[in-house]
């Protein structure tokens, strides 16, 4: 996975259930990001974090929550408040200050039944 | 917040022709502009990037131009090949308080016809 592991790769959930997507990295990168990808809408930023115990809302944070308890981990919880959660979710990391390149994980596809 | 517009959404070219994808951004404080390529079923990968203090950058068949005054930047692919077929995303990055927010365009699906 090029240093970023997202799991599970595929996930099915029933309406009304919360689900947590995992993102783990061994790149020693400070910043981590969650994007949602829908056909025709590109990549939309959900949350991002620069350091442990700190994170910022992106453009579509409603219905999602995150935590950053460890540098290596940035899990995303899709709550029942997210009205249209079926999508492809991509986690990314960015290296130390001055290096702006995002490195993406392989993604998790969530389907709500 | 930053808004990145990208066009066209789809583009078909004959093999060997050039392809151009254009993006505009709204926040003049954006200072870094990467382009990512996403092949079918794979993750996006950086193909080229440009910083706000540079007007043009080239890497073999790929080039990017930036016009800060007009707030637009473009990707140029010359001598296209079938393996160039993919979805291309432009992005703009803006920094604040140690954070770098990276906003993407909607993507352009490029099809190179052999």
Rounded average pLDDT over A92-103: 80
Rounded average pLDDT over A48-58: 94
Closest by Cβ to A50, choosing from B93, B99, B102 = B99
Q: Distance between CA atoms of A81 and B106, rounded to whole angstroms?
A: 25
Cβ pair A106:B9 closer than 8 A: no
pLDDT number for residue B53: 87
Q: Are strands A64-66 and A10-13 parallel, antiparallel or unpaired?
A: unpaired
Mean pLDDT in chain B?
95
Spell out which residues of chain A touch residue B101, defining contact as CB-CB under 8 Å: 45, 48, 56, 58
Mean pLDDT in chain A?
92
Q: Report the residue of chain B nearest A96, measured CA to CA.
A: B98
Tell me what percent of the residues of chain B surpass a pLDDT of 90: 89
Q: Is the pLDDT of residue A29 over 70?
A: yes
Contact A2, A103 (CB under 8 A): yes
> Count of A–B CB contacts within 8 Å?
59
Q: pLDDT digits over B80-105, tens only?
A: 999 999 999 999 999 876 788 999 99
């Amino acid at each position: 996975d090029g240093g970023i592991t997202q799991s599970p790769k595929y996930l099915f959930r029933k309406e009304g259930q919360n689900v947590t997507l995992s993102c783990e990295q061994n790149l020693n990168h400070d910043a981590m990001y969650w994007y949602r990808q829908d056909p025709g809408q590109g990549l939309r930023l959900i949350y991002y974090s620069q350091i442990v115990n700190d994170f910022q809302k992106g453009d579509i944070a409603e219905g999602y929550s995150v935590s950053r308890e460890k540098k290596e981990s940035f899990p995303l919880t899709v709550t029942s408040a997210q009205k249209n959660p079926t999508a492809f979710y991509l986690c990314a990391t960015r290296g130390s200050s001055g290096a702006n390149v995002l490195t993406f994980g392989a993604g998790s596809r969530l389907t709500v039944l | 917040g930053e808004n990145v517009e990208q066009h066209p959404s789809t583009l078909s070219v004959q093999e060997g022709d050039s392809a151009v994808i254009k993006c505009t951004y709204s926040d003049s404080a954006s200072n870094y502009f990467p382009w990512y390529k996403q092949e079918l079923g794979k993750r996006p990968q950086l193909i080229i990037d440009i910083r706000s203090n540079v007007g043009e950058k080239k890497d073999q068949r790929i080039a990017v131009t930036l016009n800060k005054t007009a707030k637009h930047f473009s990707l140029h692919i010359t001598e296209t090949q079938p393996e160039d077929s993919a979805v291309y995303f432009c992005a703009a990055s803006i920094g604040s308080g140690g954070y770098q927010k990276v906003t993407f365009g909607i993507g352009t699906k490029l099809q190179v016809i052999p």
